[in-house]
Amino acid sequence: MAGLNEFREHLGGRLTVSLLEAIGKGKEVHSIDINTLRKAVSMLRDKW
């Protein structure tokens, strides 16, 4: 979570993160729900 804030500061303002919407289809977002991110990290950690 701290890394996202550091990245935003590095960009000099607004957070912009590229995510995949589908295979080969990207989407830029300007906010990320921290609870959803934590859940995704947890799911990936359990799987791998």
- 43, pLDDT greater than 80: yes
Mean pLDDT across the chain, nearest whole number? Answer: 87
Residue 8 CB neighbours (<10 A): 15
- Distance separating alpha carbons of residues 35 and 17, to the nearest angstrom: 17
Q: Measured between alpha carbons, how far is 31 from 16 in angstroms, rounded to an integer?
A: 8
Between residues 1 and 27, which one has the greater pLDDT?
A: 27
pTM, two decimals, is 0.59
Instruction: Pick the more confident residue, 37 or 2.
Output: 37
In whole angstroms, what is the distance from residue 22 CA to residue 43 CA? 19
Asked if the model's pLDDT at residue 20 lies above 90, the reply is: yes
For residue 35, what pLDDT is reported?
93
